[in-house]
Amino acid sequence: MKKIIFATGNEHKMVEVRMILDGLGLEILSQKEAEIQADVVEDGTTFEENALIKASEIAKIAHEMPEYKDMIKAAYDKGHTIGMHTYSHDYAKVYASVDAYFQDLDQIGQMVQEEIGYVPCFIRFPGGSSNTVSKKYTAGIMSTLVQEVQNRGYQYYDWNGSSGDGSVRTTEELVAQATSFDSNNIILLCHDSHGKQTTVEALPQIIEHYQSLGYTFKALDRDSFVAHHGVNN
């Protein structure tokens, strides 16, 4: 059963939330019920900013909980390559500076090392290397990072095919888009965050499609095809 943790201790609010989400087969927990203790400083200028600050901090703590970290080891044991994306996925934090990016990368690296015994060398930048949102925080940072991560022994990956599941799509729409590529080597972007049930439903059809065309699915290694975007910042 999927679990949603709400960044609130308001019992009346939780009653309303459970009424709204009743029947969806979800486990609904307040941060107190999830045993998350956090005194978050809400220093935003609007209710929306403060809500995002609190939710982001609770999400970060939740991802550190053993039941979530165990998924890394489970995937590794099944033969998947473990890559690192980001610890916080907070663009403002990650792209505040080059040092800030590597602090975040080191943090997720340490967590992964605890699960599989080493720090992976494969990474993907939040938003991809071609993102422009980073320009909002530090001009030119991606031009520096794409070189510096390689100097430090990492290999970054982008994608040359996308399922389109970054936005809300039906299973049929995902399958249609994800099966539209015909490159010799395809790195297909999909997401596994909350609310991506349609991605899970679409994957068997996507896999079967490419297998029927003679493609094989392989875990990434140092000899794998690498997809890089053009850097825009």
Domain range list for the chain: 1-64, 66-156, 157-233
- Is 116 a residue whose pLDDT tops 90? yes
Query: By the 8 A CB rule, do 126 and 91 touch?
Result: yes
**In which band, very low, low, confident or very high, does the pLDDT at 8 lie, cut at 50, 70 and 90?**
confident
Predicted confidence at residue 39, as pLDDT, reads 67
Of 26 and 75, the structure prediction assigns the larger pLDDT to 75
Please tell me the predicted confidence (pLDDT) of residue 45. Answer: 81
90 contact partners, CB below 8 Å, separation of at least 6: 56
Distance from C-alpha of 141 to C-alpha of 231, rounded to nearest angstrom:
10
CA-based nearest residue to 104, from 117, 116, 87, 92: 87
Main-chain dihedrals φ then ψ at residue 5, nearest 5 degrees: -105, 125
pTM to 2 decimal places? 0.72
Specify the higher pLDDT residue, 182 or 40.
Answer: 182
Cβ pair 27, 38 in contact under 8 A: no
Q: How many residues does the chain have?
A: 233
161 strand-pairing partners: 188
Using DSSP's 3-state secondary structure scheme, residue 2 falls into: strand
Round to whole Å and give the CA distance between 232 and 225.
22
Q: Which residues pair with 27 in a beta bridge?
A: 3
Rounded to an integer, what distance in angstroms lies between the CA atom of residue 227 and that of residue 220?
12
| pLDDT reading at 76 higher than 60 | yes
- Residue range 192-206: average pLDDT? 87
The CATH number corresponding to 66-156 among 3.90.930.12, 3.40.50.880, 3.20.20.370, 3.40.50.1820 equals: 3.20.20.370
Higher pLDDT, 106 or 65: 106
